[in-house]
Amino acid sequence: MTYVICEPCVDVKDSSCVDICPCDSIRPNPGWEAEEYEAVDQLFIDPDTCIECGVCEPECPVEAIYFNENVPEEWEHYIEINADFYKKQETVFK
């Protein structure tokens, strides 16, 4: 399981969650990967590195972050969207 960033983040990309994440699982980071940050319309949580600590969830000002099992039904496709982002960007962040 992991945390997932859903639709409320689209076109918002507030980086409060990025700054608080202890394992650097939320990307792209606007300070480090500015080009990638500008190229996407939301932030993403890496399901392979997320330690499920939950500190990101209350930091999100638009309530876009959910534990995988708690993602609202209408946003369940964001589970795959988050995972796919990391599969496609693997060489950029590793």
- Model pTM score: 0.88
Spell out the per-residue pLDDT of the chain, length 94, in tens. Answer: 799 999 999 999 999 999 999 999 999 987 778 888 888 999 999 999 999 999 999 999 999 999 999 999 999 999 999 989 988 765 444 4
Which run of H or E residues covers position 45?
strand 44-45
Percentages of the chain per state (helix, strand, coil), in multiples of 5: 45, 10, 45
CB 9 within 8 Å of CB 42: yes
* Residue 32, both tokens: 């480090």
The label of the residue with tokens 């409320």 reads 8
